[in-house]
Structure 1
Amino acid sequence: MGIYSITESAMAGLNIAQAGILTTSQNVAGTSVEGYTRRNANAIMDKLAPNSLMLNGSSFAVEGFTRQYSSLLNGQLLNQQAKSSYSDTLVQYTQSVDSLVADKATGLNVALNDFFNAVGTYAADPTNKAMAGAISGTANAVAQRMTGMSTLATQLQSDAQKGLTDTVAQVNTLLPSLADINQRIIEANSPGNSAPSADLLDERDRLLSQLQKLVGGQSLINSDETATQLAAGMPLVERAIANKVTINSDLEHVALTFNLQNGPDKGFQTTVQSLDGGQAGALLKISNEFVPAIVRQLDTIALALVKVANGAAQSAAGSATNLAIFGFKVGSTTYSSLATGDRTANIRSIASDADMTSLYNDLASPANLMTANGLKASNFVSVAPSNFLQYFTGAVDGGAPLITSSKANTLQQLSTVFASRASNFVNDVGVQVATWKNNQKADTVVMANLKDQRDSISGVNLDEEAANLLKYQQLYTASTKVLQAGNQMFNTLLSIMN
């Protein structure tokens, strides 16, 4: 090998060592950056150096820098990010509801059971004022638990809507950023430019991961390395074009606004009630399905209680005195009697669990006017008298009871119907939250496995980088010595010739 070939090989070694040291330093610095993808400096066979002083060249050279990246793993990781964020959000928002609904101190089951037990005890001796007083006490407890559950559902709805507003604001911040990165990637691919830098591609993936966490959908990497983010099958970002997400005035639906590149007045909107994964998808699920189901269960129990309890209380034959146990306070008016023209007059008869189910279905109908008129759990109150004499005609000692023994027995026999409905309510909430918790655990395991697989390819191992740094330092030192030896040989030859 000629001296020129030795020099060329030594210079190639220096270049490879410098490139290796550069990538190693970048990798070490990247350990603190989320989503950083490890870089490598690739050395390739350039051409065999002929054994001739006439033709010379190095046998290897630096091809370039590459990201240690798996598009398959990255796609799986993005999809799983949306699923994990979805289940995490559901559990985070609903775990307090689950514990309070099932808690004996705050739940509705125990209060309803106490009320019907008090009615059953009263049926054995309807002239006993203490027994009548027990009805008032337990009725107050039922009303407190009912309004407490209703307030909890209202707060959950408010939290979900506020969370959705914040999530959409974050999404609309990220969409233009991703469109800008796409534009820079397009420019880097234009003739005369090199390929997009690894930093650009890392930032692209980082933004996609954040969007998947927030809004779910589908992330696609195009052939030119730009990204497309879809939601409900529609593009939120298409190369350098960023669209927008808005929330309808009802705070229960998300509107996607498209074609903003034609001007804000030329875009079109499409409204969706659900999103596939992400925080926004979970919050829509809570706001549009979970909370309305809780509220409808509570409204059903409240309406049925007013129907059966007040029907028994106003049953004394020949009595002109009205007695009510429960009612709905709408504004300054309390509705409790079942007189003609009252808003409660269209509540169906309650005699079985089938009747409760029918009432529950009625409340889902757009034609339902009961809850629209304020006859709902949030307005449910106890109107049972605090003066126990009011349970009797004339509100004096010795008066006839306004709730007869037979009517009290009939009411008490409905306890199983209400117990079943309340138990179903607790079970529905508990099963739903438990399902979400199980999904969260499974998603956490899958996410951890995918991250481990990604890290095995793209992650930075400091021990490995330390070994690489030592290797490149030795290569640099060796190449330098080769150059020094070649220089000495050249000087020696010159001195001989002179």
Structure 2
Amino acid sequence: MSMLNNALSGLNAANIALTVSGQNVANADVEGYSRQQAQFKTSNVYLGGVEVASVDRIVDAFLNDDIWRTNSDLSYFQNKQTYLGFIEQVVGSDSLNLNNSITSLTSALNAAATTPDSNAYRQQFLSAAEGLMRDFGQINGALEGQLNKLNTQMSNVALEVTSLTKQIADVNASIGKAVANNQPSAELKDNRERLINQLSKHIGVSTVERSNGLVDISTLSGAPLVVGTKGSSIEVNGTTVSSNFLGQKFKLNEHVGGQFGGLISADTQVIQPTLASLNSLVADLADDINMALQSGFDLNNNAGIALFEYNATNPLGSIGINPNIGTDELAFKGSNTAGPGDNSNIANVISAMSGKGERFTLLVGDLAITSKQNQTSIATASSLNTNAVAARDSLSGVNLDEEAASLMHFQQMYSANARVISTADQMFNTLLQMF
């Protein structure tokens, strides 16, 4: 009987292994599917036999972590570049180059210096100043548009992350029940890994798997995203992002990684510094020109007045031409006793603009350098992510050639055990006929 029992156990084991290999082949093109493998062991009965000890998912937690980490890095740099590239293009465009507008102002002043009481030259200077205001307005509008776009995108990502954490928490609950009841959980775990893969593109993740099969997930800074069967929600207020878990709030910064990190970085490292630089440049330019004009006198021998006015809390977004100034009020004269041909204060106005163009050029250059460095980071992150996916697929992905060989092997195993059963049957029948 031991021969028959051994053969029967081998037949059953081979059948299970064939089913597993067949399932692998059927799911070869399913994204995120981890191939499975039947593990054999000797039966705990006299004279042995074989049985399937388990059907295991072939996975490596390190390889999955590598994919999630590189997913996060790639998404971080790509989303930052979306805003960085746009702002670099806007600020560095020929049509909005402040150097050109400042040059126009200087040219108008140089022309006025030849005939300082000429209404045409004075109007040319005012027109050049109005052109500068238009440039400021367009740049400010573009930056405000990016801030609005950033806020909308962050809000959408927050909804997506909140949905994913809830889905992962629900899958955790299903896995916990399956493990507790000794039921298959491979498909559930594959689904959970797919969800974590999606989550890692939005935010950097750190995972810890419990002995009961549940996975806890936190941000790279330690803020909880999923703990057991509970998921956190993400809140966005302007460009401030926080994770809310069971009433506790955790503020997230650019170091959180992923899409969120890239978007936060676009705000804190690109948009806000650019606004600060431009606001400083605008305020200094306006103040210096105003001061120079206020030190001179106009055509009517009155003390000069400011050309520009602005709100100190937002110079770029509020600067404009003083409505009280016209061609006669431009203080090009150096004293109130000088004749109408005096141009001695024009040199002070030109000097007031000195260095402002260089500051703008430096800003454009810094943006270009930062953009180039970020693009290099995108290329590096993309290569690392491709390698990480390839490494995971080489272990966990389905190789049809290997599965074909396994199918042949287990078919032979099945046939051999079936022949043993047939032989044993013939032997018993022969023995029975002898009596």
- Please give the range of the TM-score, normalised by the shorter of the 2 chains: 0.7 to 0.9
- Aligned amino acid, residue 219 of structure 1: T
Query: In structure 2, how many angstroms separate the alpha carbons of the residues matched to 1:214 and 1:446?
Result: 18
Matched, 1:297 2:285: no
Q: Given the alignment, which residue of 277, 286, 297 partners 1:316?
A: 297
The residue that corresponds to 1:87 in the other structure is 77
Matched, 1:218 2:206: yes
Query: In structure 2, how many angstroms separate the alpha carbons of the residues matched to 1:31 and 1:408?
Result: 78
1:339-376 deviation per Cα after TM superposition (whole angstroms, max 9, x unaligned): xxxx7xxxxxxxxxxxxxxxxxxxxxxxxxx21xxx52
Q: Given the alignment, which residue of 375, 379, 400 partners 2:340?
A: 400
- Aligned amino acid, residue 462 of structure 1: L
* TM-aligned CA distance change 1:419 to 1:185, over 3 Å: same
**Equivalent residues in 2 for 1:317-332, closer than 5 Å:** 319-320=301-302, 325-328=307-310
Query: In structure 1, how many angstroms separate the alpha carbons of the residues matched to 2:41 and 2:215?
Result: 30
Query: In structure 2, how many angstroms separate the alpha carbons of the residues matched to 1:227 and 1:15?
Result: 34
8 Å CA contact 2:150, 2:239 repeated in 1: no
1:312-351 deviation per Cα after TM superposition (whole angstroms, max 9, x unaligned): 44522663386664444xxxxxxxxxxxxxx7xxxxxxxx
Please state how far the C-alpha of 1:102 moved relative to its aligned partner.
1.8
8 Å CA contact 1:217, 1:233 repeated in 2: no
Q: Given the alignment, which residue of 360, 368, 374 partners 1:422?
A: 360
* TM-aligned CA distance change 1:468 to 1:92, over 3 Å: farther
The SS at the match of 1:63 is: strand
8 Å CA contact 1:136, 1:385 repeated in 2: no
- Aligned amino acid, residue 297 of structure 2: A
- Aligned amino acid, residue 34 of structure 2: T
The residue that corresponds to 2:24 in the other structure is 27
Query: In structure 2, how many angstroms separate the alpha carbons of the residues matched to 1:278 and 1:136?
Result: 48
The residue that corresponds to 1:286 in the other structure is 266
8 Å CA contact 1:100, 1:107 repeated in 2: no
Aligned alpha-carbon RMSD (Å): 3.1
* TM-aligned CA distance change 1:163 to 1:56, over 3 Å: same
The SS at the match of 2:226 is: strand
Q: Which runs of 5+ in 2 are unaligned?
A: 333-338
The SS at the match of 2:34 is: coil
Query: In structure 2, how many angstroms separate the alpha carbons of the residues matched to 1:135 and 1:385?
Result: 16
8 Å CA contact 1:136, 1:384 repeated in 2: no
- Aligned amino acid, residue 365 of structure 2: N
Matched, 1:98 2:92: no
Query: In structure 1, how many angstroms separate the alpha carbons of the residues matched to 2:11 and 2:96?
Result: 74
Matched, 1:173 2:170: no
Query: In structure 2, how many angstroms separate the alpha carbons of the residues matched to 1:109 and 1:482?
Result: 92
The residue that corresponds to 1:209 in the other structure is 197
The residue that corresponds to 1:380 in the other structure is 319
8 Å CA contact 1:161, 1:283 repeated in 2: no
- Aligned amino acid, residue 234 of structure 2: V
Please state how far the C-alpha of 1:158 moved relative to its aligned partner.
0.9
Query: In structure 1, how many angstroms separate the alpha carbons of the residues matched to 2:7 and 2:344?
Result: 108
The residue that corresponds to 2:336 in the other structure is none
The SS at the match of 1:423 is: helix
Deviates more, 1:315-324 or 1:169-178: 315-324
Query: In structure 2, how many angstroms separate the alpha carbons of the residues matched to 1:440 and 1:246?
Result: 27
**Equivalent residues in 2 for 1:362-377, closer than 5 Å:** 370-371=312-313, 375-377=314-316
Q: Given the alignment, which residue of 168, 182, 185 partners 1:194?
A: 182
The SS at the match of 1:42 is: strand
The SS at the match of 1:33 is: coil
The SS at the match of 1:31 is: coil
The residue that corresponds to 2:39 in the other structure is 42
Query: In structure 2, how many angstroms separate the alpha carbons of the residues matched to 1:27 and 1:406?
Result: 88
Q: In the comparison of the two structures, how many residue pairs are matched?
A: 426
Please state how far the C-alpha of 1:239 moved relative to its aligned partner.
1.2
The SS at the match of 1:236 is: strand
The SS at the match of 1:74 is: helix
* TM-aligned CA distance change 1:218 to 1:316, over 3 Å: same
The residue that corresponds to 2:434 in the other structure is 497
1:381-416 deviation per Cα after TM superposition (whole angstroms, max 9, x unaligned): 3569998677699xxxxx937xx6333222323444
Q: Given the alignment, which residue of 2, 9, 13 partners 2:10?
A: 13
Please state how far the C-alpha of 1:100 moved relative to its aligned partner.
2.2
The residue that corresponds to 2:149 in the other structure is 159
8 Å CA contact 1:27, 1:465 repeated in 2: yes
* TM-aligned CA distance change 1:8 to 1:428, over 3 Å: same
Please state how far the C-alpha of 1:65 moved relative to its aligned partner.
0.8
- Aligned amino acid, residue 241 of structure 1: K
8 Å CA contact 2:165, 2:231 repeated in 1: yes
8 Å CA contact 1:252, 1:288 repeated in 2: no
- Aligned amino acid, residue 421 of structure 1: R
8 Å CA contact 1:392, 1:400 repeated in 2: no
* TM-aligned CA distance change 1:385 to 1:183, over 3 Å: same
The residue that corresponds to 1:456 in the other structure is 394
8 Å CA contact 2:68, 2:205 repeated in 1: no
* TM-aligned CA distance change 1:272 to 1:491, over 3 Å: same
**Equivalent residues in 2 for 1:111-126, closer than 5 Å:** 111-126=101-116
Query: In structure 1, how many angstroms separate the alpha carbons of the residues matched to 2:317 and 2:40?
Result: 72
* TM-aligned CA distance change 1:427 to 1:57, over 3 Å: same
1:115-163 deviation per Cα after TM superposition (whole angstroms, max 9, x unaligned): 3333334334434555444423432332222111111111111111111
The residue that corresponds to 1:277 in the other structure is 257
The SS at the match of 2:95 is: coil
Please state how far the C-alpha of 1:180 moved relative to its aligned partner.
2.0
TM-score, normalization: structure 2?
A: 0.86
- Aligned amino acid, residue 269 of structure 1: K
8 Å CA contact 1:147, 1:377 repeated in 2: yes
Q: Given the alignment, which residue of 213, 217, 223 partners 1:229?
A: 217
Q: Given the alignment, which residue of 450, 470, 473 partners 2:411?
A: 473
Query: In structure 2, how many angstroms separate the alpha carbons of the residues matched to 1:485 and 1:416?
Result: 104
The SS at the match of 2:340 is: coil
* TM-aligned CA distance change 1:485 to 1:130, over 3 Å: farther
Query: In structure 2, how many angstroms separate the alpha carbons of the residues matched to 1:433 and 1:19?
Result: 56
1:164-194 deviation per Cα after TM superposition (whole angstroms, max 9, x unaligned): 111111111122222222223333343xx32
